[in-house]
Amino acid sequence: MRANSNARTGGEILVDQLLAQGVRHVFCVPGESYLAVLDAFHDRDVEVTVCRQEGGAAMMAEAVGKLTGKPGICFVTRGPGATNASPGVHIARQDSTPMILFVGQVARETRDREAFQELDYRAVFGSMAKWATEIDAVDRIPEIVSRAFYTATNGRPGPVVVALPEDMLTERGAVADALRAEPVETWPGLADMSRLQKLLWAAERPFLLLGGSRWSEAAWAATGRFAQRFEIPVATTFRRAHLFNAVHPCYAGDLGIGPNPKLLARIKSADLIVLVGGRLGELPSQGYTLLGIPNPQMKLVHVHPGAEELGRVYRPELAIHAAPTAFAAVLEGLEPPKEIRWREDTRAAHADYLAWSEHPTRVPGAVNLGEIIVFLREHLGQDAIICNGAGNYSGWIHRFYRFRRFVTQIGPISGSMGYGVPAAVAAKRLYPERTVIAFAGDGCFLMNGQEFATAVQYELPIIVIVADNGMYGTIRMHQEREYPARVSATALRNPDFAAYARAFGGFGATVETTADFAPAFDAARKSGRPAILHLRIDPEAITPTTTLGAIRQRALASQG
Ligand SMILES: Cc1ncc(C[n+]2csc(CCOP(=O)(O)OP(=O)(O)O)c2C)c(N)n1
Ligand SMILES: [Mg+2]
């Protein structure tokens, strides 16, 4: 490190700040606006992943934030580069993920002329990022990058956008590197925990709901031990299933889209809900119908690292301003009641979860995605990482896969399509020894499918499973429900995805029947290359429990 050296350019100072913060990976699409940073990458010890589109690069950085709890780093050029990156920033916002997007900016002396590709990033990202700023002076790089790390990780984590005027990056400055940022841990107070103790002792039907970010392996384990001691039923919220071991005797299921009705009934009739880390947003709250707003019908204990989230939608009986990491660490201090009144309910809740997820339902067509998920749950190691984007296909993962380890599920809580492939590229780049699977719909895949080329370039043998039903299925489903038999703008004519994989230098296979899947999966693994398995799904198989035709018939009948 060349601290206090006056020989460094802004670009070099910037990259040295990242190294000082422990950054190992950056994801980028290059641009002439930040050549000085690219040059600094050249002889520094940082792994650069060059991507094909900024949306993919930003999603990779966001996925790094989810995988590590530390800010994922993305570099893009000004104007179109920055706007292309915006979905990653939006995901980081909604999913509470730490991430920093660095954007090249026009030179300082041309600012405000609407110079080539000029944008005001404070305005563009003002309502999306946690903080959007611009570095005006080379001497302030360490200060602002340090603050970016603190801002991205403190409280409720989120994205920070930092614009970098081109001439500032080539200027030289004499400035010391910032020390490593240590995110502030937010601990529950003693009084909070004793009130929680009393609420638990007074409860008849308590329920633990887990979500959000700022978890850790230790917090995951401590929560499992707490649940075991209290024999309290636990559900995870939308796309956070990895926060609790699915085969733990207290696991009651996944509270997302189309949850087990028995799980919903249990949560509704709970007299105490302890919501840890999550916001209980629109999807897990079943369109804000689960809990009264602002006054929930049951007692709510809300534990969240962001003070502004507490009381924002739901008025809690007890608000605990704490990160899940800190909260979980003090759970050991709580004592279960002498007689656990809900013991039998918890057993029944877990049995109901197992029954709900055990056997794939019957669906029309020769490929049953449910059976494929069950195959994977039985054949993948527990530390396999499962990534996905948005679409009805993901409903089968949420229902039938059993996440047994922390940080094995990487999916967009924000429901952004196109996330699975870039997330898988990021996961495999970080953890080459782990099995990484990306699920995508046919619509979802082609939003960022070009990042398959990134997987090939960096020799990352991810396995992409494309569930092709020839349509934007989710929207078609809503269409049939609201406007039956009036199909509009939801049909897709698709390429041969297996040939696509081969054209990129990967492995590709088409799966026409459920029985084709196991040998195709095996061949994909053995190929040692990035792979695409193209599943031909019957469009009628719209969810594990209903068909498009049935939805249309129901809607037509109700129209009379
Ligand atoms: C970026 C983005 N654009 C549009 C949507 C709206 N949307 C949600 S699901 C969906 C269709 C997904 O289609 P596909 O990936 O083929 O999955 P399927 O539902 O057919 O299983 C669309 C268009 C979205 N969530 N994200
Ligand atoms: Mg589809």
Is there a contact between 76 and 54 (Cβ–Cβ < 8 Å)?
yes
Structure tokens belonging to residue 236: 């995870």
> From the alpha carbon of 469, which atom of ligand 1 is closest?
20
Ligand showing the shortest atom-to-Cα distance for residue 443: 1
Residues with CB under 5 A from ligand 2 (ion): 441-443, 469, 473
Q: How far is CA 146 from CA 18, 19, 140, 173, 534, in A?
A: 9, 12, 10, 17, 44
Helix 343-358 to helix 261-268 angle (10° resolution) is: 160
DSSP states of 472-510 as a string?
A: -HHHHHHHHHHSTT---S-B-----HHHHHHHTTSEEEE
CA–CA distance, 439 with 533 (Å, rounded to integer): 10
Residue to substitute in 474, 492, 542 for testing ligand 1 pocket (most ligand atoms within 8 angstroms of CB): 474
Is the bond preceding 294 in cis, omega lying within 30 degrees of 0?
A: yes
As a whole number of Å, the CA-based R_g of the chain is 24
| Contact residues for 74 (Cβ-Cβ < 8 A; gap 6+) | 26, 27, 28, 54, 57, 58, 60, 61, 85, 88, 99, 100, 101, 102
- 166 SS3 class: helix
Task: Assign 96 to helix, strand or coil.
Answer: coil
Output the pLDDT for position 2. 47
Select from 59, 394, 417, 487 the residue to mutate for testing ligand 1; criterion: most ligand atoms less than 8 Å from CB. Answer: 417
pLDDT at 1: 43
The answer to whether 206 and 272 have CB atoms below 8 angstroms apart is yes
Which residues are CB-neighbours of 100 under 8 A, at least 6 positions away?
61, 71, 72, 73, 74, 148, 149, 152, 159, 160, 161, 162
β-pair partners for 173: 8
* Residue 313 CA to ligand 1 centre (angstroms): 27
Kindly state the helix (H) or strand (E) to which residue 388 belongs, with its residue range: strand 385-388
Tell me how far the alpha carbon of residue 495 lies from the centroid of ligand 2, in angstroms.
Answer: 13
Pocket test for ligand 1, best of 53, 416, 472, 492 (most atoms within 8 A of CB): 472
- Count Cα atoms within 13 angstroms, Cβ side, for 454: 26
Q: Which of 289, 286, 279, 321 is nearest to 303 (CA)?
A: 321
Compute the distance between CA of residue 187 and CA of residue 33 in angstroms, rounded to an integer.
42
Task: Report the greatest alpha carbon distance in the chain.
Answer: 79
Matching residue, tokens 């969240």: 304
Mean pLDDT by 10 residues, the chain (560 residues): 67 98 98 98 97 98 98 98 98 98 97 96 98 98 98 98 98 97 94 98 98 98 98 98 98 97 97 98 97 98 98 98 98 97 98 98 98 98 98 98 98 98 98 98 98 98 98 98 98 98 98 98 98 98 98 94
What element of type H or E holds 62?
Answer: helix 54-68
Residue 325, number of CB atoms within 10 A of its CB: 23
What is the amino acid identity at position 332? E
Backbone phi and psi for residue 105, each to the nearest 5 degrees, phi listed first: -135, 155
pLDDT for the residue 6: 62
Ligand nearest the Cα of residue 445 is 1
* Residue 278 burial (CB count, 10 A): 26
Query: Tell me, what amino acid is at 273?
Result: I
Pocket of ligand 1 (CB under 6 A): 390-393, 415-418, 441-444, 467, 469, 471-475
Secondary structure (DSSP) of 324-377: HHHHHHHGGG----SS-TTHHHHHHHHHHHHHHHHSPPP-SSS--HHHHHHHHH
Strand arrangement of the beta sheet that strand 507-511 belongs to: 409-410, 385-388, 436-441, 463-468, 531-536, 507-511
